[in-house]
Amino acid sequence: MTEPLLIRGGRVIDPGSGFDEVADVLVREGVVFEISNGLSDAGARVLDARGCIVAPGFVDLHAHLREPGFEQKGTIATETAAALRGGFTTICAMPNTSPAPDSATTIEALVERIARDARVRVLPIGCVTRRREGKHLAELSELAAAGCVAFSDDGSPVADGWLMRHALELTGALGLPLSEHCDDPSLNHGGVMNEGAVSERLGLAGQPPSAEISAISRNIALCEATGARLHIAHVTTARGLELVADAKRRGLPITCEVTPSHLFLTEEAVFGPGRTPAYDTNAKINPPLRTENDRQALVRGVNDGTVDAIATDHAPHAAEDKFCEFDDAASGISCFETALGTLMTSVERGELSLPAVLRALTVGPSLAFAIDLRIAGAGALKVGVSSDITIFHPTEPWVVDPQQFASRGKNTPLGGRELHGRVRAVIVGGKLTLHEEVAHA
């Protein structure tokens, strides 16, 4: 039996119910036993949470764990340790592994590894098409039965409209969301960063916003035609988000996510802060960092609730994947351990609102993928069910040092930057799994 925990004196926020009060939280036998003031610590380990926020454990709809197949970039053990440090207690694993989880066999093998190595809850996302090649549909019902939380071909968009339509008809019948990286490869045409002022300045091939916008538009039309649940992964453009907002107003079963990177950085990060261009490969991600106008639109989208989830798109890479020419560098940012810091820094600046951020880290994603049906209380903090809790200090300053990451991926454009807001402790399934002294000793 796990040790009872008393979280004392924190600001307890449950975005789903709107609860927001300074209170004590007693966790016993894996569940939240009581939320009240002046609880007795009899027999319980006391966590002093004064000055901290006590929130439901964060839920991430979009992460890359790299195992199996790319263990030099990360493993289930290392990347879930990183997730834990970032306050994430449930993460959805994207299927761009080798082999890709496109059959019950590969999913079952993955679930076994997760059970053995994962430090937080991991839910696999299954492929839409075999080997993520966009040619033949994977055996979707078998994948659903094996435990997939959603379907996606991850960074390989289902470019063929005919195939996408039928994929949605089948995933819709299964009642599972299809998470799509919306991008028209014929428009992207080998681009390596956002098409615009910086790409023209640096002589780098651009990825035009229209590549995302047109793909979102097509997929919304297919969502409407099929009635299937469609999740738009990492929206990056102002116009793309407007399309999603419009589809939601019309009542379509559509959800979307944005990443902390796109909420905090712009295409300027590729140029870097100096006079001499940096060609910073750590700022190379796909979809790319966009303009300040786009960034501000995404911030507004989080604040007004258009954005259901803030998802990390955590993408660890080995050093050599980034220590090369910009065109050749791998795309992605190791994001778990900086996500909260960037979000809370933005809150402190008066851009993002705290309740909106917490909603998009907890109940928002939980509902988008119906995770609360798999893990009782996921994304919530209330008596009787939930037992995943993240305790963080909202303004504590710290400097990003990638070498201190638990993630195998040290690839971040934020190295050396001061961020505000830091995870202090994480409880998974009622068990104190991460505590400040342990994490940052």
Partner 1 sequence: MLETRSAPTDSATAITAWTAKDLLDTDTLSLAEIALIMETTEAMSEIRNRPVARVATLRGSTIVTLFYEQSTRTRASFEVAAKALGADVVNLTASGSSVEKGESLIDTVRTLEAIGADVVVMRHGKSGAPYLAARNTKASVINGGDGTHAHPTQALLDLFTMRRHIGDLTGKRVVIVGDVLHSRVARSNVWSLMASGANVVLCGPATLVPRTLHGHSERGSCEVTTNLDSALRGADVVMALRMQKERQDGGLMPSLREYINGYQVNARRLALARPGALVMHPGPMNEGIEIAPEIAHGVASVIEEQVSNGVAVRMAVLYLMTTARRP
Positions in the binding site for partner 1 (CB under 8 A): 196-198, 200-204, 274-279, 320, 323-328
Closer to partner 1 by Cβ: residue 282 or 407: 282
Radius of gyration in angstroms for the set of CA atoms belonging to the chain, rounded to a whole number: 21
Could you tell me the smallest distance in angstroms from the CB atom of residue 418 to partner 1?
A: 22
Phi-psi region of 9 (alpha: psi -120 to 50; beta: other; left: phi over 0): left
Could you tell me the smallest distance in angstroms from the CB atom of residue 328 to partner 1?
A: 7
Closer to partner 1 by Cβ: residue 151 or 279: 279
Q: At what angle do helices 336-348 and 354-361 cross, to 10 degrees?
A: 160
Closer to partner 1 by Cβ: residue 101 or 206: 206
d(CA 275, CA 21): 48
Closer to partner 1 by Cβ: residue 18 or 274: 274
Could you tell me the smallest distance in angstroms from the CB atom of residue 31 to partner 1?
A: 53
Q: Which of 204, 200, 214, 126 is nearest to 167 (CA)?
A: 126
Q: Which of 185, 158, 183 is nearest to 171 (CA)?
A: 158
Pairing mode, strands 230-232 and 178-180? parallel
Are 233 and 312 spatial neighbours (Cβ–Cβ below 8 Å)?
Answer: no
Closer to partner 1 by Cβ: residue 112 or 200: 200
Give 100-164 as a DSSP string.
Answer: -S-SHHHHHHHHHHHHHH-SSEEEEEEPSBGGG-SSSB--HHHHHHTT-SEE--TTS----HHHH
Q: Known catalytic residues?
A: 313
Closer to partner 1 by Cβ: residue 328 or 418: 328
Could you tell me the smallest distance in angstroms from the CB atom of residue 279 to partner 1?
A: 3
E strand segments, 187-253: 193-194, 206-207, 230-232
Could you tell me the smallest distance in angstroms from the CB atom of residue 282 to partner 1?
A: 13
Pairing mode, strands 418-428 and 389-399? antiparallel
Closer to partner 1 by Cβ: residue 183 or 267: 267
Are 312 and 339 spatial neighbours (Cβ–Cβ below 8 Å)?
Answer: yes
Could you tell me the smallest distance in angstroms from the CB atom of residue 160 to partner 1?
A: 20
E strand segments, 259-334: 309-310
Could you tell me the smallest distance in angstroms from the CB atom of residue 309 to partner 1?
A: 32
Q: What are phi and psi of 404, to 5 degrees?
A: -90, 0
d(CA 247, CA 136): 28
Are 259 and 334 spatial neighbours (Cβ–Cβ below 8 Å)?
Answer: no
